[in-house]
């Protein structure tokens, strides 16, 4: 496969003519070439986006709706092709990639309708004045996305940016560029006006950095690691850019003594290991009431060991390959750290080499116990198929352990006690709290984290507000 930049409606090589290898993580082999772009491509993309902005920003909402809907249909029509590309590129099981392609198309469809529905407020100031708020598009905005849910998170940013009337320079992760390339083809197929969406491939410190530093890209929406988010904030802050940062997590999954235990365990297997644990919302710290601890431990160990790890294209596979060699090594190094910190590995804890995929980057679903809440294993983001088990005696103790992290993205709570569910949810320092469910998404809800998990929220009106500039107009009535 040859991945190309998409600038001003054209698929093209990087200006410097350089490309770099892209790996199939299940095989550990190079399978594609990706443009190794730099600031020159970002500048071309900006110019194209700037030239397209005057027309796109005033295009009637219904026309924007039609284009975004057509992109959704374009993805739907080629769903299997997109899903296969995502699975080969990222390492995730094909069946999971297929679900994500459905959801990527939904992102475009959802924000297509948002373009039609978005409205602003007015305030009557007694009989003296009427105030209203104009929500105007910003101009050219930048979207930078990671490798774990590649097209899903890419579309989650691009769709609202376009729906709000901006034109876009976007960069997918250099590890997973394939579906962004296919999206460029869909944009060509549906005749999206040239320059409305521009996609530049390449390394974060080159392409991403050039986007963040560009003086006229006025807003940056970023999802990725907390360290990268800090760096972006340090660069963009003094330029007074609008920033939306969705960063890492160290999410607690809390099972109370009054939980529906079978449902809790069944979902917790997913919460822990879906997409190889490479979802910012995965629960990596499982806190269990002491009365249920042994049962939950036994079941989690049994079920983790039973998960089929291997060929992402086999529909029986539950856990695929880790996205890249550096990330695979990072996850394995955290398992070693957990052992050094005194953790007992109850399941997994090692690399796997499934038949036919001996050179791929696979890690067995791993369950660890015996670690306190303050150790590095329990406070740093691992972002792989690794969970720890801890027990608690009281609700207060559970809350204290759950909140004992610099991160605040998502928490999951299992209890059949209604009062406790509400009380506990309100006290958790996290942007998202699921009660008796996980990853049950409604695209209208605010999505994002507290503390070091980010700044701002995505989703629904939050995203439309981020991608617009509010202007108050005050008209005197006297």
> Under the rule (CB under 6 A), what is the footprint of ligand TXE?
144-146, 148, 171, 173-174, 204-205, 208-209, 212, 223-225, 228, 231-232, 246-248, 280, 327, 330, 381, 383
- In this complex, which beta carbon is closest to ligand TXE, that of residue 149 or of residue 300? 149
Q: Give the shortest CB-419-to-ligand TXE separation in angstroms.
A: 33
Which letter does DSSP use for residue 243 in this model? Answer: E
Minimum separation from the CB atom of position 381 to ligand TXE (A):
4
> Can you tell me the distance from the alpha carbon of 46 to that of 273, in angstroms, rounded to the nearest whole number?
39
Our CB check for ligand TXE shows the closer of 166 and 452 to be 452
Note whether 341 and 374 are within 8 A (CB): no
User: Least distance in Å: CB of 406 to ligand TXE?
Assistant: 13
- Residue with smaller CB distance to ligand TXE, 111 or 156: 156
Pick the catalytic residue: 86, 100, 143, 280? 280
Contact 81, 94 (CB under 8 A): no
Sign of CA dihedral 326, 332, 337, 338: positive
* Planar angle of CA 199, 102, 1, nearest 5 degrees: 45
Shortest distance in whole angstroms from residue 142 CB to ligand TXE: 9
Which of 154/467 has CB closer to ligand TXE? 154
Block residue for tokens 């996290």: 430
Q: Closer CB to ligand TXE, residue 99 or residue 400?
A: 99
Per the rule left: phi > 0, alpha: psi between -120 and 50, beta: everything else, 342 is left
CA distance 7 to 457: 28
- Cβ atoms of 170 and 158 within 8 Å: the answer is yes
Catalytic (active site) residue 375: no
CB of 132 to ligand TXE, least distance (A): 36
Residue bearing tokens 């976007």: 170
Question: Which of 461, 430, 462, 431 has its CA nearest to residue 448?
Answer: 431
Q: Of the two residues 110 and 447, which places its CB atom closer to ligand TXE in the complex?
A: 447
3-state DSSP assignment of residue 301: helix
Give dist(CA 119, CA 36) in Å, integer.
41
Burial class (CB in 10 A: 0-12, 13-18, 19+), 181: buried
Rounded Cα distance, 317 and 58, in Å: 48
Instruction: Confirm whether 246 is a catalytic residue.
Output: yes
CB of 118 to ligand TXE, least distance (A): 26
In whole angstroms, the minimum distance from the beta carbon of 306 to ligand TXE comes to 27
* Strand, coil or helix: 91: coil
Options 86, 246, 381, 395, the catalytic residue: 246
Q: Are 434 and 447 in contact (CB under 8 A)?
A: no
Phi-psi region of 448 (alpha: psi -120 to 50; beta: other; left: phi over 0): left
Question: Which of 159, 236 has the CB closer to ligand TXE?
Answer: 236
Query: Cβ of residue 190: shortest distance to ligand TXE, in angstroms?
Result: 25
Whole-number Å distance between alpha carbons of 219 and 213: 11
Residue reference for tokens 């998170």: 153
C-alpha angle 65-68-72 in degrees, rounded to nearest 5: 130
Report, as residue numbers or ranges, the catalytic residues.
246, 280
């Amino acid at each position: 496969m040859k991945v190309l930049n998409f600038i001003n409606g054209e698929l093209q090589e990087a200006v410097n003519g350089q490309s770099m290898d892209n790996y199939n993580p299940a095989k550990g082999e190079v399978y594609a070439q990706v443009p190794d772009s730099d600031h020159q491509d970002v500048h071309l993309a900006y110019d194209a986006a700037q030239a397209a902005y005057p027309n796109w920003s005033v295009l009637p909402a219904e026309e924007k709706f039609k284009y975004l809907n057509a992109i959704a249909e374009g993805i739907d029509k080629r769903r299997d092709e997109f899903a296969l590309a995502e699975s080969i590129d990222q390492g995730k099981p094909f069946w999971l990639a297929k679900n994500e392609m459905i959801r990527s198309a939904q992102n475009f469809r959802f924000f297509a309708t948002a373009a039609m529905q978005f409205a602003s407020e007015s305030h009557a100031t007694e009989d003296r004045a009427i105030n209203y708020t104009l929500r105007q598009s910003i101009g050219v905005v930048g979207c930078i996305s990671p490798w774990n849910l590649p097209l899903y998170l890419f579309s989650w940013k691009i769709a609202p940016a376009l729906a709000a009337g901006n034109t876009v320079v976007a960069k997918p992760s250099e590890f997973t560029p394939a579906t962004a390339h296919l999206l460029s083809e869909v944009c060509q197929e549906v005749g999206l006006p040239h320059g409305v969406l521009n996609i530049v491939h390449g390394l974060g410190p080159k392409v991403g950095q050039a986007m963040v530093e560009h003086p006229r890209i006025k807003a940056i929406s970023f999802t990725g690691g907390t360290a990268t988010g800090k760096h972006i904030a340090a660069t963009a802050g003094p330029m007074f850019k609008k920033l939306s940062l969705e960063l890492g997590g160290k999410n607690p999954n809390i099972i109370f003594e009054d939980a529906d235990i079978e449902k809790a365990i069944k979902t917790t297997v997913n919460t822990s290991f879906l997409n190889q644990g490479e979802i910012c919302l995965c629960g990596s710290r499982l806190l269990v009431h002491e009365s249920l601890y042994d049962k939950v431990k036994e079941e989690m160990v049994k079920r983790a060991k039973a998960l089929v790890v291997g060929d992402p294209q086999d529909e029986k596979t539950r856990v695929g390959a880790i996205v890249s060699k550096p990330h695979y090594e990072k996850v394995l190094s955290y398992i070693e750290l957990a052992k050094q910190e005194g953790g007992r590995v109850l399941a997994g804890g090692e690399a796997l080499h499934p038949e036919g995929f001996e050179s791929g980057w696979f890690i067995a679903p791993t369950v660890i116990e015996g670690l306190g809440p303050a150790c590095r294993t329990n406070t740093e983001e691992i972002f792989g198929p690794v969970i720890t088990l801890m027990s608690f005696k009281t609700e207060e103790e559970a809350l204290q352990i759950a909140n004992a992290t610099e991160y605040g993205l998502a928490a999951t709570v299992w209890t059949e006690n209604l009062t406790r569910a509400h009380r506990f949810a309100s006290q958790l320092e996290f942007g998202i709290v699921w009660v008796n469910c996980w990853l049950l998404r409604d695209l209208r809800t605010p999505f994002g984290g507290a503390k070091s998990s980010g700044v701002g929220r995505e989703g629904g009106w939050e995203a439309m507000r981020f991608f617009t500039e509010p202007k108050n107009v005050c008209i005197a009535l006297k």
